[in-house]
Amino acid sequence: MIYTVTLNPAIDLVVRLDGPLQAGTVNRAAGEEYVLGGKGVNVSGVLAELGCPSVALGFVAGATGVWLEQGLAARGLRTDFIRLPAGMTRINLKLKDGRETEINGAGPTVPPEAVEALLRKLDALQSGDVLVLAGSLPAGLPADTYETMLARLEGRGVQAVVDASGALLEQALRCRPFLIKPNREELAQAVGRAVNTEAETEQAARELQARGARNVLVSCGGDGALLLEESGAVHCAAAPRGTVVNSVGAGDSMLAGFVAGWLQSGSFTSALRLGIACGSATAFSLGLAGRSQIDALLAQI
């Protein structure tokens, strides 16, 4: 089974304007929609499109948390969230006016007893299961939270996948996760220098591998992706052509496609192709990738 962990899930309010945002005055929306998500939840959503069941774990709170759970259940996603005693699941504003501007909420404070409850849920994972840790931390959780979770699973045959940045990623590397998925900006942050070319991307990925990552998948936007295998082999694939209308969730979709492709085929190259198809399908649409879009783009890679 695949388990995704989203410690700070969200409801994204996507607002579209016909022209540039005018600061300090009233702006009228040309359209709006609510998207239920958070990075791990997005991964679960695309996995479902690919026929891979998963369980979404994490924390929810308040009326917005109820809305999130009910909405995901209506989409056929299985969840096992821990309900917090106070606060509200956050709402993020995604403003599209020819540009993409994001204002992300902070989310509720997570008390220690809720963290312990989540760790007990992870104790049920078995050899062969996949655990995807994705996204930022809510208030009250230390930067070693992912490391604590991974250390608890050490030696049990659970394949850990980490999509994080900064100290959260750096400390998780100590537990030698099966896969990490930085984008180029996050990769540059991790190595402390600019990463632009394919050669620079490969070198930076090797440095993160030396710090503990077994496999490194780097999403490179319109340039596709680079995969550095544990064996040292490198695979690169270009993204298909299309018009980018939405970057939100594209990296999560790539990760979902890669995990599904790897589990279904056992091939890293097939997983990379499916990952790029899923990421591109989301980038070329208003919401998360659909199966028909994924299949059409896969044939182009």
Indicate the pairing of strand 225-228 with strand 234-237: antiparallel
pLDDT in tens, 83-116: 999 999 999 998 989 888 989 999 999 999 999 9
Q: Is residue 15 situated within a structural domain?
A: no
Catalytic annotation present for 223: no
The sign of the torsion formed by the CA atoms of 114, 117, 121, 123 equals: positive
Q: Which of 12, 129, 163, 252 is catalytic?
A: 252
96 located within any domain:
no
pLDDT of residue 254: 96
Number of domains in the chain: 1
In a domain, 264, yes or no: yes
In angstroms, rounded to a whole number, what is the distance separating the alpha carbons of residues 135 and 115?
16
- 210 CB contacts (<8 Å, ≥6 apart)? none
Q: What local confidence, expressed as pLDDT, does residue 226 receive? A: 97
- CA distance linking residue 223 with residue 236, whole number of Å: 9
- What integer best gives the mean pLDDT of the chain? 94
Residue 154: give the domain boundaries. 2-8+38-89+107-298
Q: Is 27 part of any domain?
A: no
Q: Name the token pair of 283.
A: 């980038």
The answer to whether residue 59 is domain-embedded is yes
Supply the CATH number for residue 172's domain. Answer: 3.40.1190.20
Higher pLDDT, 33 or 147: 147
